[in-house]
Chain A
Amino acid sequence: SQTIHQWPATLVQPVGSPLSLECTVEGTSNPNLYWYRQAAGRGLQLLFYSIGIGQISSEVPQNLSASRPQDRQFILSSKKLLLSDSGFYLCAWKHLHGAGANVLTFGAGSRLTVL
């Protein structure tokens, strides 16, 4: 069965420091991968998605970037964090075929606090 891992679960970083959140998927190949952000009390905002290695689409211009160095690995990064980057970050992968087609399966999330 497919599983998705996301880490770290919690992160407290000072303003101006770098960021790296990692997401990996097991049990599937060539998944569509997504990074969402959820600010406090708000819905989910799509940040990036990827349909393959090295293929990244950005939905919102911001201080963050994403990379997909391997088929089942998706990384969210920043060179210099801002206070506004605080939030809950969710990685997800999408089932493309079969009974679960178009369903997003989410990781457990990473809570980032920028001080």
Chain B
Amino acid sequence: AQTVTQSQPEMSVQEAETVTLSCTYDTSESDYYLFWYKQPPSRQMILVIRQEAYKQQNATENRFSVNFQKAAKSFSLKISDSQLGDAAMYFCAWNMNYGGSQGNLIFGKGTKLSVKP
């Protein structure tokens, strides 16, 4: 069965600094997607970034970027120039590319990020 592991329950970063959140996953599939979701105190789940496994280029979205290491099954999230609004729970998630079928997201347990002013 596929699993997603986030080994850092909590992380802290100084405002304007850079922080990296770790995620590893276990799968025998070759065609899949990886995601980072953010859950602020409001608890609304928000997509941060998405990576398609067949794309070697790491996804970027403004201050957010990933380091996708397919062979190592690692998918870390780097937040640059951290802002107070980045404080949230961050969830890593995996989804097989069913090409339109029901395929369900498997979530890690989350990393709580605090941003210090």
A88 within 8 A of B: yes
Interface residues on B, range: 20 to 34
A51 within 8 A of B: yes
- The count of residues in chain A whose C-beta lies closer than 8 Å to any C-beta of chain B is 24
Q: Are A43 and B102 in contact (CB under 8 A)?
A: no
Stretch of A12-20, A63-71, A72-80, A104-112 at the chain-chain interface: A104-112
- Give bound CA distance, A31 to B1, whole Å: 26
Q: Are A49 and B104 in contact (CB under 8 A)?
A: yes
Q: Are B45 and A43 in contact (CB under 8 A)?
A: no
Question: How many A-B contacts if CB must be within 8 Å?
Answer: 49
Q: With A102-B33, A104-B105 known to touch, is A43 a contact of B43 (CB < 8 Å)?
A: no
B97, B103, B105 interface centre (most CB from chain A within 10 Å): B105
CB contact between B91 and one of A44, A88, A109 (< 8 Å): that residue:
A44
B43, B95, B108 interface centre (most CB from chain A within 10 Å): B43
Which residue of the partner chain A has the closest CB to B108?
A43
When distances are taken between beta carbons in the complex, the residues of chain A under 8 Å from B33 are 102
B107 within 8 A of A: yes
Q: With A51-B102, A57-B102, A102-B103 known to touch, is A108 a contact of B44 (CB < 8 Å)?
A: yes
Q: Are B45 and A34 in contact (CB under 8 A)?
A: no
B75 within 8 A of A: no
- Give bound CA distance, A104 to B44, whole Å: 12
A32 within 8 A of B: yes
Name 8 interchain pairs, CB-CB below 8 A, sorted by A: A46-B105, A96-B100, A102-B95, A102-B103, A103-B35, A104-B35, A106-B44, A109-B44
Closest 7 CB pairs of A and B: A106-B45, A43-B109, A44-B107, A96-B100, A102-B33, A43-B107, A51-B102
Taking Cβ atoms with an 8 Å cutoff, the residues of A that contact B are 32, 34, 38, 42-44, 46, 49, 51, 57, 59, 88, 90, 92, 96-97, 102-106, 108-109, 111
